Amino acid sequence: MGKKILILFSLWTISTFGQDKSADSITTRVTDRNIKFKYEALIIPTTLIAYGVIGLESHTLKDINSDTKDEINEHIDNKFTIDDFSQYSTFLSVYALNAAGIKGKNNFKDRTIILGTAYLIMGTTVNIIKHTSNEMRPDGTSNNSFPSGHTATAFMGAEFLYQEYKDVSVWYGVAGYVVAAGTGFFRMYNDRHWFSDVAAGAGIGILSTKIAYWVHPLIKKTIFKKKENLNGVIMPIYNGKQYGLGMSMSF
């Protein structure tokens, strides 16, 4: 029997493991020693994260949070929980497109390792910060508002979609980022997050995927070196309060 790994794709749990040879994020050469960042690709995600962190203490940014909340609340009639599902649609689109015969950059094995790595990085980062930042949600229900995990998941998937399909058409990535931005908006619309929470979540999501592509050659070489086949199934998870996705992989 081969090894088996169970990856739980859920906003409230930590998941799994992932490459990129593109000039957009990381430049890699034949040897691992020559792997290097293209630093300008990190400007946007690190800026978003910095904005969110500063927003925890800055009175000016807190005022922007409050003003944004008030502006959105003026136009709210009903709550829409579409963000509970749209957060996953960006990375699931990669698998849907491949199933439809529109091939992306990587095969199933490599893109799944990359996605698992990105989710592990993103999920670990978000959960650690949530349990240490002590930021109250706009609706006052809990003090784990910062950063937005839904938004982080959506932007992680949007960058994943972009990286896999930018050589086919950049519009796939654009569509993914539109959906991710919509997810962030609905987190504020539903009074679950402040603007700074959403900004930080977006930055964490993008950065997690970029790092996943960067470290993928090393992970593939050291962990999955002799594993040619990777099979898996994705399934929904619901525990009465929280939604998520589960993936069982065997290799």
Give per-residue pLDDT as tens, 105-152: 999 999 999 999 999 999 999 999 999 999 999 999 999 999 999 999
**Tokens coding 200:** 């930080």
Q: 102: domain range? A: 4-28+41-250
What's the confidence (pLDDT) of residue 75?
75
Structural domain count, the chain: 1
In a domain, 109, yes or no: yes
pLDDT higher than 90, residue 34: no
The share of the chain scoring above pLDDT 90, in percent, equals 66
Using CA atoms, how far apart are residues 9 and 7, in angstroms rounded to an integer? 6
Using CA atoms, how far apart are residues 220 and 132, in angstroms rounded to an integer? 33
User: 191-232: per-residue pLDDT in tens?
Assistant: 999 999 999 999 999 999 999 999 999 998 888 776 555 555
Report the candidate in 154, 141, 153, 137 with the shortest Cα–Cα distance to residue 195.
Answer: 137
**Tokens coding 77:** 């009639």
Using CA atoms, how far apart are residues 162 and 17, in angstroms rounded to an integer? 19
In a domain, 126, yes or no: yes
In a domain, 22, yes or no: yes
Band (pLDDT 50/70/90 cuts) for residue 79 is confident
In a domain, 207, yes or no: yes
- Measured in whole angstroms, the distance separating CA 197 from the mean position of its chain's CA atoms is 14
- b/e burial code for range 182-218 (CB count within 10 A of at least 16 → b): bbbebbbbbbbbbbbbbbbbbbbbbbbbbbbbbbbbe
Beta bridge partners of 246: 8, 235
- Within 10 A of 65 (CB to CB), how many other CB atoms are there? 21
In a domain, 36, yes or no: no
What's the confidence (pLDDT) of residue 223?
82
In a domain, 33, yes or no: no
In terms of DSSP H, where are the helices of the chain?
43-54, 59-73, 83-99, 108-133, 149-165, 170-189, 195-222
Residues 6+ apart with CB under 8 A from 97: 104, 165, 172
In a domain, 153, yes or no: yes
Beta bridge partners of 9: 245
Residues 6+ apart with CB under 8 A from 124: 14
